[in-house]
């Protein structure tokens, strides 16, 4: 029984050129305690997927055209906003990419953590305070009780991301969506935050959806991976399977782009071409124009996502099931 | 916090010094002989001499400046030629009227402007937004004396709900004060409310796009808290800047409104003083009005510090 089930989810944005599809026919499951990585280039639909699950799509520009998001026996796509507010926080929480701007500059961090608690639980101010302090300590903020009165501008980027984590985790969510939580941070801080995420996953027993474009982060933290390309899932696999035997040519391309210290390469490898814009997608396989394996039939119809190896799905006509 | 107040007050001193020199110099900037300008061409030599002596114009300029400063620091701004009373005393009486009216107009401005701006921002590009902005535009475009005249015709002459003019002090009769102040306050407030509504709308739209608003929603906070706490607290920072200007405009805008509704405020007082060449009154009135506006700006700066912790910590 999955904790979260996403089925055939399609999210569209209204633009000057008509409706464009940001996320198309996405389906995946998230098990209790699992870390699911979602990788892809900027614009591949990773963040829109996350915002769709959270019910935080910009209105009225974006809407869910079809599909279901099942969580705790309910379909989140059909819930009224008031019910959704009670799920955000204790049910599903989210950490964002931009720690520098994601905290409100005019309220103290203590206030921002405590209001999260008190929005969901009838706690006294004193109880909320000690719970917030405990959470700050858990995310590694030293002398947490005195830092409660600090304002975001008094904190470094890494500390702010820790505070964001504290806000997200203080109501003990069952699912945490982390949208590029370390992209804006120094490499050393990145590693600390990722370690912290995994520790807290073990301690609090939550599942994590980790969105990133960094294959290294995926390799270190995820149990299972979704590779997204131009709004669709290109490949889904356990992390070992993906790195050892990638099926989709796009995943292959991504992995070849990761620079290696042991190999002697004259220059960095890149996938030729660019991600097609949402309103200029090719007919057929979205990746075909950049794909080294592309043949004539790749231009006709979208390739279905097939389980080519047990537990390992890919959407490519050129790969034969083994 | 106290440090910020002290620093702002200190920085107001040079401004007041400059303004006091300018108001002092006014009487020397009158074309020709100030005594003739005051008394008129038909004045006798004796009358001119009396005026010169009363105003100290027979003394060297530096002595006059020294006297002016010595008197200003003692709180003595001279006597009104027209009313024969001390300028400070007249101004204090009239300021109460103008400030009460301005405060009333400010409350109306805030209620109308903030509400319209916030609602328009939350309902961006809907008919509500457009209607609010059309009303704001009308408020900004209509001259307030014309609006005042229309209101007098409708509410005082035709419907007879309110008096056409006059003033009853708030302390004497609160209901009478409301009756005499409402039309002037509305005519003062509509322009400013239009201005405030537009600024509030654009700042709120800007703030609502920020990442921390998304964070607030992601925490599961109700929409009301997201807008009225997280968004408004940030939007108020630029809004307060405009409010400082609005208060200045309300006080200076009272010149026309007070004349129109025959309200004995500072605006009317100074208009009369200028028309009657009551130079001590004009000098003293300007100095006190300027001091008031400088205080308003200090209040704005203090509000910044109250609203924005980044300003607060810079000061300590």
Chain A residues near residue B221 by CB distance under 8 angstroms: 85, 115-116, 119
**Which chain B residues are Cβ-neighbours of A81 within 8 angstroms?**
223
User: A111 at the B interface (CB within 8 A)?
Assistant: no
Residues in chain B: 316
Task: State the residue for tokens 């080294």.
Answer: A292
B chain contacts of residue A56, beta-carbon cutoff 8 Å: 214, 217-218
Strand A224-229 to strand A35-39: parallel, antiparallel, or no bridges (unpaired)?
parallel
- Give the chain A residue whose CA is nearest to the CA of B308: A106
| Chain B CA closest to residue A82 | B222
Q: For position A1, what pLDDT does the model report?
A: 67
For residue A168, the chain B residue with the least C-alpha distance is: B219
**Mean pLDDT score, B251-266:** 86
H or E segment and range at residue A187: helix A187-204
In 10 A of CB A263, how many CB atoms? 6
A101 interface with B at CB cutoff 8 Å = yes
What are the C-alpha distances in Å from B4 to residues A107, A309, B85?
A: 20, 69, 38
What is the CATH number assigned to the segment(s) B87-275? 1.10.3720.10
pTM above 0.80, yes or no: yes
What is the tens place of the pLDDT at every residue in B191-213? 899 999 999 999 999 999 999 99
pLDDT of residue B316: 43
CB contact under 8 A, B215 and A102: yes
**Rounded Cα–Cα distance for residues A141 and B230 (Å):** 24
Determine contact, residues B238/B203, Cβ cutoff 8 Å: yes
Query: Among A275-284, B101-110, B192-201, which is the least confidently predicted range?
Result: A275-284
Give the three-state DSSP class for A151: coil
Mean pLDDT (whole number) for B53-65:
82
User: Average per-residue pLDDT in chain B?
Assistant: 87
A176 and B CB contact within 8 Å: no
Determine what percent of chain B is predicted with pLDDT higher than 70.
98
Among the partner-chain residues B220, B234, B307, the one whose CB lies closest to the CB of A85 is B220
pLDDT the model gives residue A67: 93
Distance from C-alpha of A14 to C-alpha of A60, rounded to nearest angstrom: 8
Q: What percent of chain B has pLDDT over 90?
A: 32
Nearest CA in chain B to A153: B310
Q: Is A37 helix (H, G, I), strand (E, B) or coil?
A: strand
For residue B206, which phi and psi values (nearest 5 degrees)?
Answer: -60, -50
**Residues 6 or more apart in contact with residue B201 via CB below 8 angstroms:** B116, B117, B118, B120, B121, B129, B132, B133
Residues of chain B neighbouring A167 (CB-CB closer than 8 A)? 215, 219
A16 touches chain B (CB under 8 A): no
Looking at residue B31, its pLDDT comes to: 73
pLDDT, greater one: B31 or A186: A186
Residues of chain B neighbouring A88 (CB-CB closer than 8 A) = 217-220
d(CA B98, CA B285): 13
3-state secondary structure at position A291: coil
Contacts of A66 (CB under 8 A, 6+ apart): A8, A9, A10
Q: Name the band, by pLDDT with cuts 50, 70 and 90, for residue A228.
A: very high
Q: For position A30, what pLDDT does the model report?
A: 94
Nearest CA distance, A168 vs chain B (angstrom) = 7
Residue A8 three-state SS = strand
Chain A partners of B220 at a C-beta cutoff of 8 Å? Answer: 85-90, 116, 119-120, 171
Residue B315 pLDDT greater than 70, yes or no: no
Tokens of A235: 């490949």
Residues with Cβ within 8 Å of residue A34, at least 6 apart in sequence: A3, A207, A208, A223, A224
How many residues in total does chain A contain?
A: 322
- B211, B219, B313 ranked by CB distance to A89: nearest: B219
Nearest C-alpha of chain B: how many angstroms from A37?
20
Q: Is there a contact between B215 and A153 if contact means CB atoms under 8 Å apart? A: no
Look-up of token digits 């206030």: A111
Given its phi and psi angles, is residue A72 left (phi above 0), alpha (psi -120 to 50 degrees) or beta?
A: left
A106 touches chain B (CB under 8 A): yes
Asked whether the beta carbons of A182 and A190 are under 8 A apart, the reply is yes
B314/chain A closest Cα distance in angstroms: 11
ipTM of the complex: 0.88
Is the CB of residue A184 less than 8 Å away from at least one CB of chain B?
A: no
Peptide bond into A60 cis (omega under 30): yes
Answer whether A54 touches B (CB < 8 Å): yes
Cα–Cα dist A127/B209, whole Å: 33
Provide the shortest C-alpha distance from residue A104 to chain B (in Å): 5
- Interface check for A85 against chain B (CB to CB < 8 A): the answer is yes
**A5 phi/psi in degrees, rounded to 5:** -125, 120
Residue A289, pLDDT score: 86
Q: Which residues in chain A have Cβ-Cβ distances shorter than 8 Å to B311? A: none
Cα A9 from Cα A75, distance rounded (Å):
12
Smallest Cα distance from B261 to chain A, Å: 43
Strand order in the sheet with A35-39: A92-95, A175-179, A207-212, A35-39, A224-229, A232-238, A312-314, A306-309
The reported pLDDT for the residue numbered B44 is: 84
Strand order of the β-sheet with A4-15 is A18-30, A4-15, A62-71, A74-75
- How many CB atoms sit inside 10 A of residue A186's CB? 12
Arithmetic mean of pLDDT over chain A: 89
Enter the tokens of residue A35.
């870390």
Backbone φ and ψ for B224, nearest 5 degrees, come out as -55, -45
Q: Return all residues near A163 (Cβ < 8 A) that are at least 6 apart.
A: A103, A109, A112, A113, A136, A139, A141, A152, A155
Those residues with Cβ within 8 angstroms of residue A199's Cβ, 6 or more apart along the chain or in another chain: none
- Give residue B160's pLDDT band: very low, low, confident or very high (50, 70, 90): confident
Domain limits, chain B:
87-275
Residue A83: count of CB within 10 angstroms of its CB: 12
Cα separation values, B308 from A155, A313, B263, Å = 16, 52, 39
B→A interface, C-beta within 8 Å: 210-212, 214-223, 225, 230, 233-234, 237, 307-310, 313
Q: How many CB contacts within 8 angstroms connect chain A with chain B?
A: 81
Contact assignment for A115 to B225 by CB distance below 8 Å: yes
For residue A266, the model assigns a pLDDT of 67
SS3 content of chain B, % helix, strand, coil (to 5): 80, 0, 20
Least confident range of A257-271, B82-96, B269-283: A257-271
Distance CA A87, CA B177 (A): 52
Q: Is the CB of residue A115 less than 8 Å away from at least one CB of chain B?
A: yes
Q: How far is B214 from chain A (nearest CA, A)?
A: 7
* Alpha carbon distance B277, B272 (integer Å): 8
**What backbone torsions phi and psi does residue B79 show, to the nearest 5 degrees?**
-110, 145
Q: Which one of A104, A148, A151, A168 would you mutate to disrupt binding with B, by most B Cβ within 10 Å of its Cβ?
A: A104
Cβ contact, residue pair A56, B230, below 8 Å = no
Q: How far is B228 from chain A (nearest CA, A)?
A: 13
* pLDDT on residue A321: 67
Name the closest residue on chain B to residue A150, using Cα atoms. B309
DSSP-derived 3-state class of residue A315: coil
pLDDT, tens only, A109-144: 999 999 999 999 999 999 999 999 999 998 888 899
């Amino acid at each position: 029984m999955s904790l979260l089930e996403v089925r055939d989810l399609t999210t569209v944005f209204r633009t000057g050129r008509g409706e464009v599809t940001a996320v198309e026919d996405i389906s995946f499951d998230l098990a209790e305690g699992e870390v699911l990585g979602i990788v892809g280039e900027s614009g591949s639909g990773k963040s829109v997927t996350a915002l769709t699950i959270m019910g935080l799509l910009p209105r009225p520009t974006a809407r869910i055209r079809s599909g279901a998001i099942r969580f705790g026996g309910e379909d989140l796509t059909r819930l009224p906003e008031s019910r959704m507010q009670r799920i955000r926080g204790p049910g599903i929480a989210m950490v964002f990419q931009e720690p520098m701007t994601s905290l409100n500059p005019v309220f103290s961090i203590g206030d921002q953590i405590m209001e999260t608690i008190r929005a969901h639980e009838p706690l006294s101010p004193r109880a909320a305070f000690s719970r917030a302090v405990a959470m700050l300590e858990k995310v590694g903020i030293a002398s947490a009780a005195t830092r409660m009165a600090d304002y975001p501008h008094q904190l470094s980027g890494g500390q702010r991301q820790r505070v964001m984590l504290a806000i997200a985790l203080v109501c003990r969510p069952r699912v945490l969506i982390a949208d590029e939580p370390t992209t804006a941070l120094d490499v050393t801080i990145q590693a600390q935050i990722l370690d912290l995420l995994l520790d807290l996953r073990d301690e609090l027993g939550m599942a994590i959806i980790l969105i990133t474009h960094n294959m290294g982060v995926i390799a270190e933290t995820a149990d299972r991976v979704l590779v997204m390309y131009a709004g669709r899932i290109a490949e889904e696999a356990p992390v070992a399977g993906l790195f050892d035997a990638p099926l989709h040519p796009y995943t292959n391309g991504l992995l070849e782009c990761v620079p290696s210290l042991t190999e002697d390469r004259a220059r960095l490898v890149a996938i030729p071409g660019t991600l097609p814009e949402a309103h200029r997608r090719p007919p057929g396989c979205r990746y075909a124009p950049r794909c080294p394996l592309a043949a004539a039939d790749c231009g006709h119809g979208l390739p279905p996502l097939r389980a080519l190896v047990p537990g390992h799905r890919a959407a490519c006509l050129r790969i034969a099931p083994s | 916090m106290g440090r910020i107040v002290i620093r702002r007050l200190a920085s107001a001193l040079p401004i007041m010094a400059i303004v006091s020199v300018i108001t002092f110099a006014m009487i020397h900037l009158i074309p020709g002989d100030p005594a003739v300008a005051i008394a008129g061409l038909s004045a006798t030599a004796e009358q001119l001499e009396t005026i010169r002596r009363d105003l100290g114009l027979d003394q060297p300029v530096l002595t006059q400046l020294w006297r002016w400063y010595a008197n200003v620091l003692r709180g003595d701004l001279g006597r009104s030629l027209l009313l024969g009373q001390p300028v400070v005393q007249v101004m204090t009486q009239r300021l109460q009227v103008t400030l009460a009216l301005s405060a009333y107009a400010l409350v109306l401005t805030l209620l109308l402007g903030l509400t319209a701006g916030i609602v328009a921002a939350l309902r961006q590009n809907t008919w509500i937004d457009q209607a609010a902005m059309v009303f704001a535009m009308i408020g900004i475009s209509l001259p307030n004396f014309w609006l005042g005249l229309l209101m007098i015709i409708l509410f005082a002459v035709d419907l007879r709900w309110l008096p056409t003019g006059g003033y009853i002090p708030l302390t004497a009769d609160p209901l009478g004060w409301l009756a005499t102040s409402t039309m002037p306050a509305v005519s003062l407030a509509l322009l400013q409310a239009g201005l405030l509504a537009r600024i509030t709308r654009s700042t709120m739209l800007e703030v609502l796009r920020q990442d921390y608003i998304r964070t607030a929603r992601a925490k599961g906070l109700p929409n009301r808290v997201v807008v009225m706490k997280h968004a408004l607290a940030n939007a108020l920072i630029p809004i307060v800047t405009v409010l400082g200007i609005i208060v200045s405009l309300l006080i200076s805008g009272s010149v026309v409104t007070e004349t129109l509704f025959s309200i004995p405020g500072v605006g009317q007082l100074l208009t009369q003083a200028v028309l009657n060449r009551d130079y001590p009154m004009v000098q003293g009135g300007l100095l006190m009005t300027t001091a008031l506006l400088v205080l308003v700006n200090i209040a704005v700066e203090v509000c910044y510090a109250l609203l924005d912790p980044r300003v607060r910590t810079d000061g300590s």
